Structure 1
Amino acid sequence: MTLLVDSLRLLRARVLFWITLAISALAAVLYLSIGFNPEGFSMLFGAVNVKNEMIRSGSEYAELFYLGIFSKFVVGLWLSWVAVGLALISCAPIFPDFMSEGSIGIPLSKPVSRLTLFFSKYVGALLFVILQVGLFCVIVFIAIRWRVGTWNPSIFWAVPLVTLVFSYIYSVVVLISVWTRSVLAAILAGVVIWFVAWLGQKGEEMLYMFSHPTGVMADVTAEQQQDALADMEKWHKVSVAGMAFMPKTGETMNVMDRLIVVGGKTGFSNSSFLAALFGQKDEDMNLDKAMARNSTFYVIGSSLGFEAVMLGLAALIFCRRDY
């Protein structure tokens, strides 16, 4: 507990912690500024008004639209990309600074195992994300009550999910930082793995959608369609095998859609949200099926397996190194 408190104090002492906290609060206030009126919805506390017959006060689509913005833009863009990126930059120096000469001697002289020291520092870094996302979700929780009129505690699922995404990438940062003691090398390695994982997931998602079409194309024979689908299915299986042991950052955030409560029902429909936003028909979209193509157990379990391997290697190097 003393080590965790010490890690929290070190994070609070970093200027980037307060900058990130302020930006998160500002983003939450911008979300709070979105409201509804009889003619449509408004932004920036009424400074900008948008007329929309479907998305307006009293409409059944108002809650769907408001929670859709939270799920697709706030969680999907801000929390899972910007906030996680800032957290990686802020937490990357923790292990190199801890392992520097003159810093690690005192903790090693205490009756605490090296493995306990290692995981205490690691969990302490996770507190950075938990505090940031927790504050954000509290403001969003109040905003949903004010704008939609319902208390929706399901939005707090964003806290463990964003923390999980951060932990996948941070495990790589920890391994490289313990191995090289270089903050820059650790950040670069984390960014590379993050980008490769995102690119692989998007490629596998596109192949899935191509191999599971919702309709048939004109001027294409049934035999040609069958051959094309067979090829797509083959390449999709290859991509699934390649992504099996990679961290699934995007898919972990997509789990939010399965857990959030909309209109008293658990589960968020991307098709319905886009239909309300752009006026497209639900049946014309294959997005929901693609988002739920893998089970929650597989998505999080395989990603935690990757993280366990990274942390295991990092802990082995940390515990066996001479200081």
Structure 2
Amino acid sequence: MTQFGAIFVDSLRLLRGRSLFWITLGISLFAGLMYLSIGFTATGYSVGFGLVAVDHPAIRAGSPMAGMFYFAIFSVFLVNVWLSWVAVVLALITCAPIFPEFMAEGAAGSVLSKPISRWRLFAYKYVCGLLFALIQTAAFCVLVFLAMRWRVGSWNPTIFWAVPLITLMFSYLWAVMVAVGIKTRSVMAALLSVMVVWMSCWMAKVVDDFAWSASESGEIPTISGGERLSTSEQATWKRYQALAELPYRSLPKTTDTVNLLQRFVRLEGDREFSMSEVTTATLNGVPAKDTEVDASMTRGSPQWIIGSSLVFELMVVAYAGWLFCRRDF
């Protein structure tokens, strides 16, 4: 543990020297403070700690809809936009220099001259990147947790499901960035490569959802709702479904890992609401039952989503570790 502590401090010193860690952590905390600034008055709600007030007969202090509205902001914006995209991008930018800078000529020599194996050194550095992402996500979730208690009067520990799930999602991409960073010793190449992989994961998910909807329900999603397929067209999609799903099954499930929050985070009230129900009620204006939630979001078990993604990550990490042990420093 002494060796790990020294390597963690060394990685933190590298990021602190470039101000990356503190800048990205500050941005995450600012987002949490903005959420905290939303409050409720006797006639409606306010933003910016009372700077802007909005009158609303249903969403006001003490009303049942106040808690639903506040939770909806978390589920619709903070989860689907901030935690799913912005926070992960910030974490990737924060951790991108760790391996390329460490592998710069002479930088790793002083560490390798001490009694520590290359595999252990690689593992310690890899875990350091995950810890930095975890710290940023945890700090943000603590602010959200306190904000919900202050603004709507309820403790909601299910929010902290975001910490392991977002860190898991980050780890899939972090493995790719580490492998490219070790191979090229370039921060920019590592960042660009991981963005390409991330976009590929998203596109594979879109194609998979399209193929599943066409083959199982006989309906193609459109902007206006859905287009029904004929029996022969649906049969054709069933024949090609396995091929269409192949990229999705091979790549890590970044989107589905974050979507697990829709199942695990819940709102207590007159009855327990899932985050999916709150999101649907906010977007459509009417509450939804669990059975009405998009089936494509819940058709994969958490064990399969996480397990298949970790298989991909372990393969990439093994390759990155092999490269690291073979490189000359």
TM range (shorter): 0.7 to 0.9
Query: Do residues 177 (structure 1) and 198 (structure 2) align?
Result: no
- Distance, in Å, in 1 between the alignment partners of 2:56 and 2:92 is 40
User: What residue identity is the alignment partner of 2:152?
Assistant: V
| Pair 215,148 (structure 1): closer, same or farther in 2 beyond 3 Å | farther
Deviation for aligned residue 1:51: 5.1
Q: 1:309 aligns with which of 277, 296, 315?
A: 315
CA 1:294–1:184: 2 relative to 1, 3 Å: same
CA contact (8 A) 1:8 1:127 kept: no
Gap runs ≥5 in structure 1: 217-222
Matches within 5 A, 1:214-225: 225=230
1:129 aligns with 2:129: no
Q: Among 191, 195, 199, which residue is 2:195 paired with?
A: 191
The reply on whether 1:148 has 2:152 as its aligned counterpart is: yes
Separation of aligned partners in 1, 2:249 and 2:273: 25
Map of 2:117 onto structure 1: 113
Aligned length: 317
Contact preservation (8 Å) 2:263, 2:276: no
Tell me by how many angstroms 1:178 deviates. Answer: 0.8
1:208 maps to 2:216: no
Q: Does 1:300 align with 2:311?
A: no
Q: Percent identity among equivalent residues?
A: 46
RMSD over aligned Cα atoms: 2.8
If the length of structure 1 is used for normalisation, what is the TM-score?
0.87
Contact 1:258 1:267 (C-alpha < 8 Å) held by counterparts: no
Distance 2:267 2:253 in 1: 25
Alpha carbons 1:11, 1:128 under 8 Å: kept: no
Aligned equivalents of 1:147, 1:91: Cα separation in 2? 34
Q: In the aligned structure 2, how far is the partner of 1:15 from the partner of 1:30?
A: 22
- Measured in 2, the distance between the counterparts of 1:224 and 1:201 equals 21
Equivalent position to 2:259, from 244, 254, 257: 254
Among 285, 288, 293, which residue is 2:294 paired with? Answer: 288
1:89 to 85, 93, 96: 93
Contact 1:275 1:282 in 2 (8 A): yes
More divergent stretch after superposition (231-240 vs 161-170): 231-240
SS in 2 for 1:42: strand
Matched-pair contact (CA < 8 Å) for 1:40–1:52: yes
TM-score (norm 2): 0.86
Deviation at 1:75, TM superposition (A): 2.2
Matches of 1:109 and 1:296 in 2, distance apart?
A: 43
Which amino acid counterpart does residue 190 of structure 1 have in structure 2? Answer: V
Structure 1 residue 71 corresponds to structure 2 residue 72: no
Question: Does 1:42 pair with 2:73?
Answer: no
Q: Cα 1:224–1:259, aligned 2, differ >3 Å: closer, same or farther?
A: closer
Q: CA deviation at 1:287?
A: 4.3
Given that 1:214 and 1:286 are in contact with CA atoms closer than 8 Å, whether structure 2 keeps it comes out as no
Distance 2:22 2:229 in 1: 58
| Counterpart mapping for 1:162-173 below 5 A | 162-173=166-177
Amino acid paired to 2:142: V
d(CA) in 1 for partners of 2:100, 2:79: 30
Residues 197-249 of structure 1, C-alpha deviation per residue, up to 9 Å, x if partnerless? 01111222233344455999xxxxxx964334334444444333321120111
Q: 59-68 or 167-176: which moved more?
A: 59-68
| Residue of structure 1 equivalent to 2:327 | 321
Distance 1:244 1:40 in 2: 47
Unaligned runs of 5+ in 2: 221-227
How far apart are the structure 1 equivalents of 2:65 and 2:231?
A: 38
- Which amino acid letter does the alignment assign opposite residue 99 of structure 1? M
Q: Provide the C-alpha distance between the structure 1 equivalents of 2:35 and 2:217, rounded to a whole number of angstroms.
A: 35
Paired residue secondary structure (1:282): coil
State the Cα distance separating 1:99 from its structure 2 match: 1.3
Larger mean Cα displacement after TM superposition, 300-309 or 60-69: 60-69
Q: Which moved more, 1:62-71 or 1:88-97?
A: 62-71
| Alpha-carbon distance between aligned partners in 2 of 1:231 and 1:136, rounded to the nearest angstrom | 47
The counterpart of 1:244, out of the listed 232, 239, 249, is: 249
Q: 1:220 maps to which residue?
A: none
Is the 1:251–1:299 Cα contact (8 Å) retained in structure 2? yes
Q: CA deviation at 1:194?
A: 0.4
Q: 1:126 to 1:208 in 2, by over 3 A?
A: same
How far apart in 2 are the matches of 1:54 and 1:230?
A: 48
2:300 partner SS: coil
